[in-house]
Chains A and B, each alone.
Chain A
Amino acid sequence: MGELILQAKHLGISFGGLKAVDDFNIEIKAGELVGLIGPNGAGKTTVFNLLTGVYAPTEGAFFLCGEKMNGKKTHQVVQSGIARTFQNIRLFKSMTVLENVMVAYGMSIKYKIPGAIFRMGSYFKEEAEYREKALDLLKIFDLDDKADYIADNLPYGQQRKLEIARALATGMKLLLLDEPAAGMNPTETADLLRCINIIRERFGIAILLIEHDMSLVMKICERIVVIDYGVTIAQGLPEEIASNQRVIAAYLGADEEEEDVPC
């Protein structure tokens, strides 16, 4: 595997007396896809909020390519190379598909406002360059022919894909996907799977995935981390996780007579 992208050491956060995440440790290398699972309210999204600087950790630290990320503001964390998608889609709805992606490319566009006024030539050149790049990215997701559509008018599955494309446009090294398959039909999920695989091949980035669709998680993740009540209860290969008693107990409840199966 490639270089170490993300390293979290004893990461934790308390809200008042409640430890939402406690002693969270993870290492993800370039090209690796790690799943983060756990029952509802286990603290998965809180982990994402910690890793993007939305919450400041009360304990521990995390590093991106060896650079300490604690204490950075969210937009700085993103500029350093961590991007995410949301559980509920949060596109810039009234902007076009292309504009959504270009906004994310925005921060790597070098020109400043005075430059935009006084050096129109280089401005148009750069703008055109990023337009091309954005279109290339949309092509991977089969969205290039819809570049001028208003984002809100896309079907659900395509909005999800656009959100991933937009996150990719930030030029990140670590991509956090928050339930990308939520609410998708099987065809859309299969398409999503294909896209995730293309992303891994093309960009060689590290991905941390929160997902409730267990068949998806088992199929694509190299490793899985399971948390419950903010505590990491298991970590390992998919087959190890599938047979781990603590994981089964966390999902099904400790009472063995219960027969509900997580879906």
Chain B
Amino acid sequence: MLQLIIRRVVVAIPTLIIVSMLIFGLQRMLPGDPILTMTAEESNPEVVAFLREKYRLDDPMPVQYLAWIGNVLRGDFGSSIRTGLPVTEMILQKLPITVQLATMAMIMAMLIGIPAGIIAAVRKNTATDYVANTVALSGMSIPNFWLGIMLIMVVAVQWKLLPASGYVPLTQDAWLSIRSMLMPAFVLSTAVAAYLMRHTRSAMLGVLNSDYIRTARAKGLLSKTVILKHALGNALMPIVTLSTLLFGDLLAGAVLTEQIFVIPGFGKLIVDAVFTRDYAVVQGVVLFTAIGFIFMNLVADMLYILINPRLRHPQ
């Protein structure tokens, strides 16, 4: 098992290197002098000279890349031209907010999607199944920023049930923090809930048609026991890995959700950075997301190995 895990980690390394090259290339695609875009109008000759030296801009491209990646590996993504703060610090500050949002969204998506998928599979081709499928397809089609606006209009403004926007840190007031995140998390969860429902349904259908389920039923076991104990265990395996992978989608979706609900997270950071042409921040955020995604991929692989006994003991 350890061997399998090590192999997966080794395979991820070239991917990471290429991601970093792409992101480096993206920045160098920008018209004009990268230092001028980094320092904006304020071009103190000393600062410019220092940065030219730091990023080795007078050297050939490969040397420049190595200088940049060397800094990145030391955790130095450069500093923001807007706030002057190191990009790493800004990201680490915003990350917990988005992670809270994404985690709540993932929990909601699982609580909605998986049971709905099981019910739809058990009641295949009935009205329940059609309704579940239609709701899932709608969940995939609804733009989440629009759903956010609609919910604020109804739930916050009309019914006054939940706060319309804003963010309260978990450490400051846990209950209020969760309450103010309920709506954004639900909005963010819809697409993932829909995917989970559809995948759970098809995985369950596949398992329910298999021989061992027929045997279990033939033994006279209760239908509930067969579905929950025998079928679900096997059907859930791909769902667990899928959920891990969908975390990346949640991060991307958070960009718009945070914009609507005015949550000062990771997503808002990249949008603000784009508009202030704060390229070091954009670059840092994109690279950070990619690293996060590759890491989640590894986690998914490992989970799959852990829960799948057939892979646990390779010959």
A binds B: no
B binding-site residues for A, Cβ under 8 Å: none
